[in-house]
Amino acid sequence: MIKDTIVNGFQNAPHRSLYHALGLTEEEQARPLIGIVSSYNEIVPGHINLDKIAGAVKLGVAMAGGTPIMFPAITVCDGIAMGHTGMKYSLVTRDLIADSTEAMVMAHGFDGLVMIPNCDKNVPGLLMAAARLNIPTVFVSGGPMLAGRVGGKKRSLSSMFEAVGAYTAGKIDEKGLTEFERKVCPTCGSCSGMYTANSMNCLTEVLGMGLQGNGTIPAVYSARIELAKHAGMQVMELVKKNIRPRDIMTKAAIQNAITADMALGCSTNSMLHLPAIANECGVEFDLDLVNVISEKTPNLCHLAPAGPTYMEDLNEAGGVYAVLKELDGLGLIDTSVMTCTGKTLGENIENAVNLDEEVIRKPENAFGKTGGIAVLKGNLAPDGCVVKRAAVANEMLVHEGPARVFESEEECIAAIYGGKIVKGDVVVIRYEGPAGGPGMREMLSPTSAIAGMGLDKDVALITDGRFSGATRGASIGHVSPEAVSGGPIAYVKEGDIISIDIPNYKIELKVSDEELAKRKQEMPLKKKEVSGYLKRYAAQVSSADKGAIINK
């Protein structure tokens, strides 16, 4: 055991004295030491219940003969951080989480880990740490929130943001807005649609790092506590068998995750996080592979914001395993990969059943013949950009219109609420990329304003920033190279015609190469003055097409 190197022998008596200071008995010191990485805090709704999850995990570890020791990881609530400077600090925490977890584990010699994340950057940050540390690890999240109900219909956080747009447009009154405010987020847990947190928690099951139900069992269900106990017990099996994260998160497992992503209709943010996780696993991630997989993978789920179903519905329909079973029937996943259950993925899903064919469509009745995410390329985004195709209205899959150019999210929101955006426009928000933002802010506020005002079938939005998983409509993000790096998006002018062709994976700025070259000479790049961690981050972060990783 790793811990033995700092416990056994006379020379390690000082270490043992500090274990005694913790109240650890000699019997506890003799057992495998399991780090419980808890993201509990009192500001994030998806994490307010993680103290209960951590307690259950600790009990499971102890039941299986281990010694659980808890330490914390941070997280940011993207919903609370949305639309202001705080959002610059969301994506950047992914690396802080990975780095700080690495520091804690390497300093203290744990034999195994149970990661307890839940929200957007917390899950991939801990997956990155797991791959980097490569000691036996199991994930158990806090679980999704139950959907709210307004006007007899299920609702979620994206409904709340769109309600602000509806209020601005005079479609609902103040009383209606207040009803949304009070009812859309009725319980603890990660927000109830297929947003980034739930996308990544579902993909944790596909990657083999979480037990069945990790992505879908609601936060308030007792089954979530049982799952946590089983995660604690299971990490002890992984320690005994020496099954490690890089044995599990192989190239085949990551390709399985891309495939499941397409079927589930996950957040575009997965196209930032999967490359970053692959990087830590030593696996090359080719963004072009996304479209290759998308072309042969049907979109089987339309969870909010794409459709009227929610995580609780996916759970009742059979969860992630039922989706994988449908994909396996088409020969689209590698079932031979190892998982944290100690069994192959094929063994895990052998008895999975699709219990609701409206929530998880059969392939012959799929919502779309192709996957939920598309990568577009063209002279506006030579290295690619990303759109959640499953949440785009049919009318907007192909669109051409004049550019309305903004240098920040704030400028854009003011124009939308000021009635300055009209049908047919293509809104361009630049200098919001990983380095240019810095921090690559999510743009849920402008996209929700457009949707809430009834323009989501008429207006496209393009940015070198990113979007929340709660975004719907023709919202195209991750434009690479970004503006601050001299990407073509920096040289778009008001009124330029932009052509979008999602089915054919194309995005074009209708400006000649000669004109673009001229603009590069005439239009200086803009760089924001920042300090502290953001300054260091901006200097080191890669482009979005590489996963916004910190360059080695």
Three-state secondary-structure class, residue 171: coil
Judge whether 324 and 206 are in contact, CB under 8 Å: yes
Q: Are strands 475-480 and 67-72 parallel, antiparallel or unpaired?
A: unpaired
Q: Is residue 420 helix, strand or coil?
A: coil
Contact 395, 457 (CB under 8 A): yes
Residue type, 226: E
With H, G, I as helix, E, B as strand and everything else as coil, classify residue 492.
coil
Residues with catalytic function: 468
Cis peptide before 438 (omega within 30 of 0): yes
Q: Is 477 helix (H, G, I), strand (E, B) or coil?
A: strand
- What are the distances in angstroms from CA 376 to CA 130, 305, 388, 406, 545? 31, 21, 11, 21, 11
Strands lying side by side in the sheet with 67-72: 67-72, 33-38, 112-116, 137-139
Q: For residue 437, count other CB atoms closer than 10 A to its CB.
A: 28
Asked if residues 379 and 508 have their Cβ atoms less than 8 Å apart, the reply is yes
Beta bridge partners of 442: 466
Measured CA to CA, the distance from residue 398 to residue 238 in angstroms comes to 49
Q: How many CB atoms lie within 10 A of CB 221?
A: 18
Beta strands in 449-546 (DSSP E): 460-463, 475-480, 497-501, 506-509
Bridge partners of 114? 36, 138
Diameter over CA atoms, the chain: 77
* Other CB atoms within 10 A of residue 534 CB: 17
**CA-to-CA distance for 361 and 42, rounded, in angstroms?**
38
- Pairing verdict, β 33-38 and 112-116: parallel
Angle at 47 between CA 41 and CA 48, to 5 degrees: 70
Q: What is the CA radius of gyration of the chain?
A: 23
Length of the chain: 552
Give every CB contact of residue 95 below 8 A, 6+ residues apart in sequence: 125, 128, 537, 550
Q: Where does residue 72 fall: left (phi above 0), alpha (psi -120 to 50 degrees), or beta otherwise?
A: beta
Q: Which residue has the tokens 């990975």?
A: 98
Six token digits for residue 79: 């919903």
Dist CA 271 CA 480 (whole Å): 13
